[in-house]
Structure 1
Amino acid sequence: MNLDSPKVSVPKSAQYLFDQLIDAKNFEKLMPDNIAKFEVTGEDAFIFGLKGMPEIKLKMKDKIVPTKVVLGAASDKLPFTLTGNITPTSEDASDVQLHFEGEFNAMMAMMVKGPITKFIETLANNMHKL
Structure 2
Amino acid sequence: MSVFESAVTVNKPAAQVYAFLADMNNHHRLMPDNIADWVSTTDEASFTIPNITSLSLTIAERVTDSLIRIIPTGKPPFEMELKWALTEADNTTKAVFTITAGLNMMMKMLASGPLQKLADEETTNLAKLLS
Same-fold status (TM-score > 0.5): yes
Q: Separation in 2 of the partners of 1:18 and 1:57? A: 21
Q: Separation in 2 of the partners of 1:89 and 1:37? A: 37
Deviation (angstroms), 1:112? 1.0
The residue identity in structure 1 corresponding to 2:71 is G
Moved more, 15-24 or 76-85: 76-85
Say which SS state the counterpart of residue 116 (structure 1) adopts: helix
CA separation of 1:49/1:76 partners in 2, compared to 1, >3 Å: closer, same or farther?
closer
The residue identity in structure 2 corresponding to 1:117 is Q
Alignment of structure 1 residues 48-63 onto 2, 5 Å? 48-63=47-62
Deviation (angstroms), 1:114? 0.8
Q: Separation in 1 of the partners of 2:126 and 2:119? A: 11
Say which SS state the counterpart of residue 87 (structure 1) adopts: strand
Alignment of structure 1 residues 26-65 onto 2, 5 Å? 26-40=26-40, 42-65=41-64
- Percent identity over the alignment? 23
Q: Separation in 1 of the partners of 2:70 and 2:35? A: 19
Match of 1:3 in 2: 4
Residues 39-84 of structure 1: per-residue CA shift (max 9 Å, x gap): 11x4301012233321111110112111111101113442210100
The total of aligned residue pairs comes to 127
The residue identity in structure 2 corresponding to 1:95 is K
Match of 2:89 in 1: 89
Alignment of structure 1 residues 110-125 onto 2, 5 Å? 110-125=109-124
RMSD: 1.5
Say which SS state the counterpart of residue 111 (structure 2) adopts: helix
When normalised by structure 2's length, the TM-score is 0.88
Runs of at least 4 residues off by over 6 Å? none
When normalised by structure 1's length, the TM-score is 0.89
The residue identity in structure 2 corresponding to 1:86 is L
Deviation (angstroms), 1:2? 1.0
